[in-house]
Amino acid sequence: MSMLFTPYQLGPLALSNRIAIAPMCQYSADEGHATDWHMIHLGQLALSGAALLIIEATAVTPEGRISPDDLGLWSDAHLASLQPVIAAIRRHSPIKVAIQLAHAGRKASSASPWLGGANIAPDEPRGWQTVAPSSVAHAEGETVPLALDADGLQRIRQGFVDAAVRSQELGLDAIELHGAHGYLLHQFLSPLSNRRADEYGGSLENRMRFPLEVFAAVRAALPSSMSLGMRISATDWVDGGWEIEQSVRFARELEKLGCHFIHVSSGGVSPAQKIPVGAGYQIAFAERIKRETSMPTIGVGLITEPQQAEHILQSGQADMVALARAMLYNPRWPWHAAAELGAQVDAPPQYWRSQPHQHKHLFGDTKLGQR
């Protein structure tokens, strides 16, 4: 039996297989509100046969958006704009739906990728003043962020809590806090971006403090029946930056707080990073964390082939795999993987007649009459 298509449990969340769709920014919201694009985009992915769909990085405060076009969940109006999308998915798919809650910190106020992705200065149209652990710009020539004071930290911490409560009200199945890719929680962790001299900077214990406080506050605001995890960058790929040994210690602290899963990525905090990109290039980090903690791990990083995903699971490198670009390129990737690995996958009855004759049991024992 293919391990990729066996059930799995992320804390209280039961999943039908071990394929997740990673959160992918769409830069298509209207002042943080979901649009028709989200209905189309998330709707097609919900029919993919994956077990878990994670909605893109969703800002918990207005200044926490990466771009002016990012999705947000800092008000009840933003909740209302997502409700029709979630309702449509629930009507037509058994997929479980999570959301990634985020704050971009010093990497906020940037143009959408197809507009160049450059930092937008506070005095330019659609730009704003960014905030961060320290007044250190992400790159030369970019906006220098304001260092967060105690009130700012409390406001952002509460923003995560409020967005998590709204996520529960939406009826979502899980929440992933974004502690990766150089965004705010990662900025606190990395000594490259955190130059504070107070209790939130300096030692590893201090640098972990704010991300752990955010996690603990969100965990306390949610029922135990809701799965809560975190995405991390396991290394900065820069000498003197955050690295895998610190990630293991951070994962152990998260585990003590009741973290249900850890989604292991890397990089993003510094333009000086040197990443050896290749097939499965981040999986070794997931394997290390899986080996040294008891938390379920989700592995990512140029996973494109069914046999590759199967090998990752069979060899114990991760408990689940998450696909991003490969899923955009082929939104039926789980169907094709199931066919190749001799497994079955969920599909809507409207599509049952699409299964090839040689894979006639791909969607189960479907018996369709012709008219």
- Residues 6 or more apart whose CB falls under 8 angstroms from that of 6 comprise 17, 18
pLDDT category of residue 1 using cuts at 50, 70 and 90: confident
With respect to residue 359, please indicate whether it lies within any of the assigned structural domains.
no
pLDDT band at 367 (very low <50, low <70, confident <90, very high): low
- Per-residue pLDDT averaged across 72-94, rounded? 98
Q: Is residue 324 part of a domain?
A: yes
Query: Which pLDDT value is given to residue 368?
Result: 58
pTM: predicted TM-score of the whole model, two decimal places = 0.97
Task: Give the span between the Cα atoms of 366 and 371, in whole angstroms.
Answer: 16
Residue 313 has pLDDT above 60, yes or no: yes
Average pLDDT over residues 120-143: 97
Report which secondary-structure segment, H or E, holds 157: helix 150-169
Q: What are the backbone angles phi and psi of residue 131, rounded to the nearest 5°?
A: -130, 160
Q: For 329-348, what is each residue's pLDDT tens digit?
A: 999 999 999 999 999 999 99
Instruction: State the average pLDDT for the chain.
Output: 96
Domain span at 151: 3-346
CB-based contact 81:87 (threshold 8 Å)? no
Predicted pLDDT at 121? 98
Does residue 366 have a pLDDT over 80?
no
Whether 371 is in a domain gets the answer no
**DSSP category for residue 349:** G
**Range with the lowest mean pLDDT among 43-57, 186-200, 285-299, 350-364?**
350-364
126: pLDDT strictly greater than 60: yes
Give the C-alpha separation, 178 to 368, whole Å.
44
Domain count, the chain: 1
What SS3 class is residue 330?
Answer: coil
pLDDT of residue 369: 53
Whether residue 56 is predicted with pLDDT greater than 90 in this model: the reply is: yes
Residue 42, token pair as written in the block: 């998330």
Asked if pLDDT for residue 111 goes beyond 70, the answer is yes
Half-sphere exposure of residue 316, counting CA atoms within 13 Å on the CB side? 6
Q: What is the CATH number of the domain that holds 65?
A: 3.20.20.70
The pLDDT value recorded for residue 7 is 98
Residues carrying an active site annotation: 183
Is 34 within a domain? yes
CB 139 within 8 A of CB 145: no
Assess if residue 354 is contained within a domain: no
Does some domain include residue 360?
no
Q: Tens of pLDDT along 231-254?
A: 999 999 999 999 999 999 999 999
Q: Supply the pLDDT for residue 259.
A: 98
Which sign does the torsion angle of CA 136, 137, 141, 143 carry? negative
Per the domain annotation, does 297 fall within a domain?
yes
In this model, does residue 371 exceed pLDDT 60?
A: no
Rounded mean pLDDT of 302-313? Answer: 96
| Residue 164 located in a structural domain | yes
Cα separation, 292 vs 58, in Å, equals 30
